[in-house]
Structure 1
């Protein structure tokens, strides 16, 4: 009974931290009242994105409030007609430049090299760089709001996290964990103020950087071989003396990361090993997550079966407190909470399985993405 009470208190503290982050510390960029006058380059890396690039590029062409906007698109060896789609949509629009990317050299992964080529070949006059993935659709004022927030916050790197579109059962089980994890376990205000590179987070789907600070940090060349290049870039910025900020971008952008379960499974599998570091650290973190969030409903059932009603009630409270954290996260980031929050224990179990799969395939050197090895 005492152990259950301690568990419930721990979950309550973490959910309280989620609430503080979501209601007090989480920045929410607003649309600026005046145009952003500085030159801005939006950088779009593409590899086999023919089915997804259309809405993304149309949204970029429809941006408002940034007269100096230029869009640089890099085709990274696509074989599915991506280039043709880009040319059809962009037409003769002088704001769009289409580049042909080179294969990544030894020591580089594909995504960092594509982003580095874009950054180094964009208009030198651009003082702000906006990296956007093909699965992101921006609201009309998104670039203006993000660049204005970058300057208002006085940071080098701003990560406006998009609203994640969860269309399938698998999406709804796994995708909301992204926002939940950083709202629950990452002290946002401390992350902004601290110079420690280890205290950093970012999402590469929509990333805004001050160009001078980006180059001072080494840009994507400093994270050439990192599968989590977005987080590692944020750490590089901090090491170079810059500041970072993770903000709610749910009103600025939407993102459907994966089309189906195989893509979602393989997408998480390729990178979860890098999230936790060594296997011992992963085992410790997963054990803690399973104990705090997956065990309570099982313990409640076991306690009821044993006739220990008070213990069952404490376990139920712990379960509901964990679900409440998901509710807070969903309401803060534009997600859905009903009935998804109630399946939070299942989500944590699936995350654990994906992590084990990630380490297993990495050990066997079978991790790949978009036809390229990632480890």
Structure 2
């Protein structure tokens, strides 16, 4: 039995697409529990109507947020208490899954004896603003950390990455450690949970989704800037000096080389940039030529994100879905 657990807050525009895609799974042994986290729209009513015709689905209302908890973390904590499965699969409400996803995930958990499997979803991008922001997630992630190392480097919490869009847990180990409770006040709970899993000498793995999950992460440039500035520094262990060094390297480095006037060195450098963009784009299921052409504007966007992330980190003014976090 797999318990599919979905925290939802103001997701009336998205959630039915996810529920319909889950209902088409070729894996029969599952239950779906949706927690409405004090939505101001009709998310609860939509899920309730869907559940009437689908007995494996049910929706519950979340409890008021206690002091010291981040909203999503508390929603996931409540969902885990309601679940009866051998595995717990946490999904975000704005996703769409392929019909082989659960079957493949269960197989991977058995094959690698995993406590946690996390997948980095394929991102849908429609507007130019989204193309300027969203590809940066895979670009920074794969540049900084070959994902295979997450599993191969055992018991090292510094080699950790995960995506909250797909977190697949062994339920027995989850109930022992209460992973979301351990990171109840962490903004980027997915990475912190993977660190905790490895710190407890459990096996965690992070992989690219390879088309098994798709998500339109943000709708527009401003929403993307706000979202990424909320969690980008987690990749740098919240170190502002480390973050700034990375920004100076990827943005200032090519500019410095261009200023030398050495055309052989310039050509070599820009060939490496193009090659890396093509390879990462193809791995992430993105249009490589879009990312190559938009690379200068994406790097400018990365600089904007860096400024916003540092400003929010220093002033502690991060907001998400109407809550200060």
TM bucket normalised to smaller: over 0.9
Q: CA deviation at 1:365?
A: 3.5
Q: CA deviation at 1:176?
A: 1.6
Give the corresponding residue for 2:69: 108
Equivalent residue in structure 2 for 1:312, among 263, 268, 283: 263
CA distance in structure 2 between the partners assigned to 1:75 and 1:54 by the alignment = 13
Equivalent residue in structure 2 for 1:232, among 175, 181, 192: 192
More divergent stretch after superposition (112-121 vs 176-185): 176-185
CA distance in structure 2 between the partners assigned to 1:166 and 1:151 by the alignment = 33
CA contact (8 A) 1:146 1:160 kept: no
CA contact (8 A) 1:228 1:275 kept: no
TM-score (norm 1): 0.82
Secondary structure in 1 matching 2:271? helix
- Would you say 1:222 and 2:182 are equivalent positions? yes
Distance 1:215 1:341, change over 3 A: farther
Give the corresponding residue for 1:43: 5
Equivalent residue in structure 2 for 1:248, among 181, 201, 208: 208
Q: CA deviation at 1:268?
A: 1.3
Size of the aligned set, in residue pairs, is: 323
Structure with the larger RCO, 1 or 2 (CA within 8 Å, 6+ apart): 1
Secondary structure in 2 matching 1:44? strand
Give the corresponding residue for 2:138: 179
Name stretches of at least 5 consecutive residues in structure 1 with no aligned partner: 1-38
Name stretches of at least 5 consecutive residues in structure 2 with no aligned partner: none
CA contact (8 A) 2:130 2:219 kept: no
CA distance in structure 2 between the partners assigned to 1:72 and 1:137 by the alignment = 16
Equivalent residue in structure 2 for 1:342, among 271, 293, 316: 293
CA distance in structure 1 between the partners assigned to 2:77 and 2:135 by the alignment = 29
Runs of 4+ in 1 over 4 A off after TM superposition: none
Give the corresponding residue for 1:16: none
Give the corresponding residue for 2:163: 203
CA contact (8 A) 1:162 1:248 kept: yes
CA distance in structure 2 between the partners assigned to 1:248 and 1:271 by the alignment = 19
1:1-375 correspondence to structure 2 within 5 Å: 39-65=1-27, 67-123=28-84, 126-194=85-153, 195-276=155-236, 277-292=238-253, 294-295=254-255, 299-300=257-258, 302=259, 308=261, 311-374=262-325
CA-atom RMSD in angstroms: 1.7
CA distance in structure 2 between the partners assigned to 1:186 and 1:238 by the alignment = 16
CA distance in structure 2 between the partners assigned to 1:178 and 1:171 by the alignment = 12
Q: CA deviation at 1:181?
A: 2.1
TM-score (norm 2): 0.94
CA distance in structure 2 between the partners assigned to 1:225 and 1:58 by the alignment = 32
Q: CA deviation at 1:157?
A: 0.8
CA distance in structure 1 between the partners assigned to 2:126 and 2:194 by the alignment = 30
CA contact (8 A) 1:269 1:354 kept: yes
CA distance in structure 1 between the partners assigned to 2:292 and 2:110 by the alignment = 36
CA contact (8 A) 2:51 2:58 kept: no
CA distance in structure 2 between the partners assigned to 1:115 and 1:99 by the alignment = 12
CA distance in structure 2 between the partners assigned to 1:167 and 1:312 by the alignment = 36
Q: CA deviation at 1:274?
A: 3.9
Secondary structure in 2 matching 1:327? helix
CA distance in structure 1 between the partners assigned to 2:214 and 2:75 by the alignment = 22
CA distance in structure 2 between the partners assigned to 1:291 and 1:46 by the alignment = 40
